[in-house]
Amino acid sequence: EAGVAQSPRYKIIEKRQSVAFWCNPISGHATLYWYQQILGQGPKLLIQFQNNGVVDDSQLPKDRFSAERLKGVDSTLKIQPAKLEDSAVYLCASSLTGNEQFFGPGTRLTVL
Amino acid sequence: DQQVKQNSPSLSVQEGRISILNCDYTNSMFDYFLWYKKYPAEGPTFLISISSIKDKNEDGRFTVFLNKSAKHLSLHIVPSQPGDSAVYFCAASLGGATNKLIFGTGTLLAVQP
Looking at chain B, the whole-number percentage of residues with pLDDT higher than 70 is 96
The residue among A35, A94, A101 with the most chain B CBs within 10 A of its CB, best to mutate, is A101
Give contacts of B104 with chain A, Cβ < 8 Å: 42
Residues whose CB falls within 8 Å of the CB of residue A58, separated by 6 or more in sequence, listed in order: none
For residue B65, what pLDDT band results from cuts at 50, 70 and 90?
A: very high
3-state helix, strand and coil shares in percent for chain B, rounded to the nearest 5: 5, 55, 45
A21 bridge partner residues? A77
Give contacts of A93 with chain B, Cβ < 8 Å: 43
Q: What tens digit of pLDDT does each residue of B68-105 get?
A: 999 999 999 999 999 999 999 999 998 766 678 999 99
Q: What is the pLDDT of residue A20?
A: 98
